[in-house]
Structure 1
Amino acid sequence: MDYSFDGSGGYRVPTGVVGLDVQLGGGVPPGTTILLLAEPGAGMEVFAHQFAYGGLLNHEDVFYFSSEHPISEVLSGMDYFNWDVRKHLEKGKFDFIDAYSPRFYNVLPKQLVSGVSAKDFLKRGTDSLNLLKGTATEARTTKYRGVVDSISYFLRSYELNNVLNVIEIISSMGKATGAVHLLLMTSGMHESIVENNMKHICDGVIEFRMKERGSEVEHSILLRKMKGMIVPNRTISYVITNKGVELETTTRVL
């Protein structure tokens, strides 16, 4: 049975997750800001890495803004799935913005930060939310996509309205340039009013869910909303393989 979306037509930007792109009729509309909501262990980071690599394969520039992990962890995670982004880093097609390490420069022993580049050292003490805003509004001359890993850090550290204002700026930049942005958020970590604000302000909302069934853990995706599309009122099963996140070809209600 075909569960693909009844969209409004027009060009779609592929996410890089083939099964999801099939469900989306080819991808998401240009300029879409997507909220990915998932609990720990559901594969959120894998999806984010796959989304970033999908942009490179689609001949887009990609920025990956990380407030949760140093670049070594992100590259190691992508290496595991043979998503080689190092050559794209060298060519300037993949831009990693490290908002994680600067938070700890002043507390870690000097020998542990002695290898930090001069560029990153200058970020020491930089306000992370302003760094995100500056990254989002940076002038770019080619098509691109962005990943923010994760917005939960900002929701823990800043006033909600300040975070929402920056997300609105990210969304506005996407609509003006056609860029697609992916914002990661940990479910169950924030109050319901915070989650609802995030779901409201983003153009698309994808939820990764986990459910214990006997001795197994089943994973499913709920496409809660996507601008310009009618989303199905059912979940889509997925698994994580050595190819990344893969959606099952047969959709069933869990």
Structure 2
Amino acid sequence: MANRLPTGITVLDRRLGGGIPPGSIVLLEAPPASQSELFLYEFTATRGTLYMTTVRSQAAVSDAFDRANTRVGSPTIRDIGSDAPLDHANRLVGALPDSANLIVDVADVLERSEPARYRSFLNELQTQMVNTGGLAVLHAMKGHHPPENRDVTRHMADVVFDLQTDIQGQEIINRLAVPKFRGGAAMDETIKLKLGEQVTVDTSRDIA
């Protein structure tokens, strides 16, 4: 489909009609103990990327890219997780070039900001992504106590990727749902994925 930006993940691009509309904000929700970072790494291989880390240090993220066995790009990495992370994020978002990716890993730190300030950040982010024709990916952890602003993130996001990871006996089952897709059709079923060296379709049959 015309006017789509590929994610770099073949199975997703095929299911999503070629990718995601430019200017979109994507929310990737995933369990902390999952291989969800593979999605982020593969995103960086598609175009220039600003990678904002809020928990891991800049050096730790850089080392992870060096060790990655999947296709990755050469993102600009910035640690914004110290004092005033939302202010740091705002300054960097305002300087994004055209057609770039922005990755926030993880968004939880920003979601703990005062609600009005966080809402303002998301609106500014959306305006900037539309103006530059890029993609923003907010990586958020699923847990027992999500940040107060998580529902605001879900509402503002144009696309929601919901990764579910379950352990069944000796098998780890990863399923991806895309329940929300502005500018396209949301998927009506989950995709069973294999998260190894890269994101691929898991063709094994489920055990009843």
TM-score by length of 1: 0.73
More helix by share: 1
Residue in 2 aligned with 1:212? 167
Distance in structure 2 (CA, Å) of the matches to 1:159 and 1:240: 35
Does structure 1 residue 95 correspond to structure 2 residue 95?
no
8 Å CA contact 1:78–1:84 kept in 2: the answer is yes
Distance in structure 2 (CA, Å) of the matches to 1:11 and 1:54: 15
Residue in 2 aligned with 1:137? 94
What amino acid maps onto 1:97 in structure 2? Answer: R
Pairing partner for 2:37 from 41, 45, 53: 45
- Percent identity, aligned pairs only? 22
Does structure 1 residue 247 correspond to structure 2 residue 177?
no
Pairing partner for 2:108 from 142, 145, 152: 152
What amino acid maps onto 1:137 in structure 2? Answer: G
Pairing partner for 1:197 from 143, 146, 152: 152
Q: Please report how far the alpha carbon of residue 38 of structure 1 lies from its aligned counterpart in structure 2 after TM superposition.
A: 0.7
Deviations 1:78-136 (A, max 9, x none): 22234465xx4xxxxx3211224xx3xxxxxxxxxxxxxxxxxxxxx5x2111101111
8 Å CA contact 2:25–2:138 kept in 1: the answer is yes
TM-score by length of 2: 0.88
Q: Kindly report which structure 2 residues correspond to 1:28-39, keeping only aligned pairs within 5 A, or say none.
A: 28-39=20-31
8 Å CA contact 2:86–2:110 kept in 1: the answer is yes
**Runs of 5+ consecutive residues of structure 2 not aligned to the other structure:** none
Does structure 1 residue 67 correspond to structure 2 residue 54?
yes
8 Å CA contact 2:27–2:161 kept in 1: the answer is yes
Distance in structure 2 (CA, Å) of the matches to 1:65 and 1:236: 28
Larger Rg: 1
Q: Please report how far the alpha carbon of residue 223 of structure 1 lies from its aligned counterpart in structure 2 after TM superposition.
A: 0.5
Q: Please report how far the alpha carbon of residue 191 of structure 1 lies from its aligned counterpart in structure 2 after TM superposition.
A: 4.6
Residue in 1 aligned with 2:136? 181
Residue in 2 aligned with 1:21? 13
Q: Please report how far the alpha carbon of residue 189 of structure 1 lies from its aligned counterpart in structure 2 after TM superposition.
A: 4.8
Distance in structure 2 (CA, Å) of the matches to 1:27 and 1:143: 14
8 Å CA contact 2:111–2:148 kept in 1: the answer is no
